[in-house]
Amino acid sequence: MSWMLNALHSTPDVGPASRDLLKLALPHINTTDVEFSSTLPFAMRITNSDSDEEEENEEEESDPSTSESEDEDGRPRKRRRIVETVPCITTGMYFTRWVRVGQGYPCPRLDNPGSYLKPSSYKFHFGEIYETLLHSVFRLGTGVDAHPLRNPTKKRRTVQYYDEGQALPAETIALEQNGHRLPERPEDVGSDNEEEFRPLQPGPNDEEMGLNGQATILWRQGLLDVTSKCPNEKGFNKPPYCRLSPEQRRLVNMATYQNLKLSDYFMDCRYALRRDAPALWDLAFDNMFPPKGKAIKKGRQGYSQSEYFGIYEHLRSGPDEMVNTLRKALKEKFNQLQWFPWLQADKMWKTSSSITKEDHRFRRCEGNNKPSSTPAPFVLIRTNTIPTW
């Protein structure tokens, strides 16, 4: 990037160490093939005339075993080194982005055997010589693998609960009996805005699945997505807060969130009873399934990458009566759970080490001996039943 900016008003650094690096980084061509000096990354002398070649050949024949020769006075003088190839910018540009390569797109090989960066150049660019760098980077014990159960939550879309070819799930939310129908999908106008929600495209068409099937999948997909977005402890070698394996996370259902032994799900968490935070349970539902007409902040952490929210946004575009009936049915399901994460308006999961006055309503389970100052997911208990650990 610094080279790209410098190119607006000056050339790249051409000090000895930088020239050494340029010689290694750029492709080489034969000196006889250099047509314009402007294709060279820095000024250099090129020996490519017939007279110069003859002069060099004569010097080599006179004493092939030494790099020095004598002048007329008998004093030794250094012989000019023959340079066969030079670094060159043949296309007049540096590639700073990925280029397409592969079997169908042959890429010229940059073969320059025997070249290496001088110790002085290593120290100039990296502050240490090569051997010291090698020991610093690869010394025993410094390489630590990421925790195998860490959850790739950031900017990755969640897995679809329903895939094409599966049997339609048993309908558990019935809306069509009251005359409600699926809203029409908006026409695809070819927007290149990747941040827009993309509704789940079911295997069978919408008519075959129907509103009941879509609503049922919406609920099950929502449980799957919330679980998938459970965050990790800080530090790439630390485990996630959710102790479920990737396979178990794909099998979550209502029973998962009806189990009040929180250590079956969490490595660590804080909880609040209904009597301590009476309004938060309903607020969490509204954040998960916003009412029709409520403005939604773009790029909400966790929601924008969740499949369920694309389905819900499509259904939320339907008539007011249908959306209200859908939310009522979802709320009945939601109220059958025993606990759920404290879903925020701008992000799914709240994990914080700084406890505000409001956060003092949340506590750790008896038996969970983690320090009170460490971050942990905030969980809501629907009733006043104290969970176990």
* Cα–Cα distance, 262 to 380 (Å, whole number): 11
- Contacts of 104-113 with C-beta under 8 Å, sequence gap 24+, read 108/27, 110/27, 110/28, 112/24, 112/28, 112/85
- Contact (CB, 8 A) for 161 and 220: yes
How high does pLDDT run on average in the chain?
75
* Cα–Cα distance, 128 to 170 (Å, whole number): 65
- Contact (CB, 8 A) for 165 and 158: no
Selected residue with higher pLDDT from 376 and 36: 376
Q: Which pLDDT does position 187 carry in this prediction?
A: 47
385 SS3 class? coil
- 130 to 25, 121, 159: CA distances (angstroms): 17, 10, 45
**Regarding beta strands 85-87 and 339-341, do their DSSP bridges make them parallel or antiparallel, or are they unpaired?**
unpaired
Selected residue with higher pLDDT from 33 and 53: 33
Domain boundaries along the sequence of the chain: 2-46+83-138, 176-183+195-381
Q: Which pLDDT does position 343 carry in this prediction?
A: 94
Q: Which range is least confidently modeled, 101-115, 184-198, 232-246?
A: 184-198
What is the pTM assigned to this prediction? 0.57
- Most confident range, picked from 49-53, 136-140, 198-202: 136-140
Selected residue with higher pLDDT from 272 and 314: 272
Q: Which pLDDT does position 164 carry in this prediction?
A: 46
Q: How many CA atoms lie within 13 A of 164 on its CB side?
A: 7
CB atoms within 10 A of CB 1: 6
Q: Which pLDDT does position 107 carry in this prediction?
A: 62
Selected residue with higher pLDDT from 289 and 21: 289
Selected residue with higher pLDDT from 143 and 35: 35
Amino acid, res. 379: V
Q: Which pLDDT does position 136 carry in this prediction?
A: 62
Residue closest to 216 by CA, chosen among 161, 271, 270:
161
Residue closest to 182 by CA, chosen among 152, 204, 163:
204
Selected residue with higher pLDDT from 62 and 276: 276
pLDDT, tens digit, for every residue of 145-189?
667 677 666 666 777 765 444 555 565 777 777 677 677 655 444
> Which two structure tokens, joined as six digits, stand for 139?
């010394």
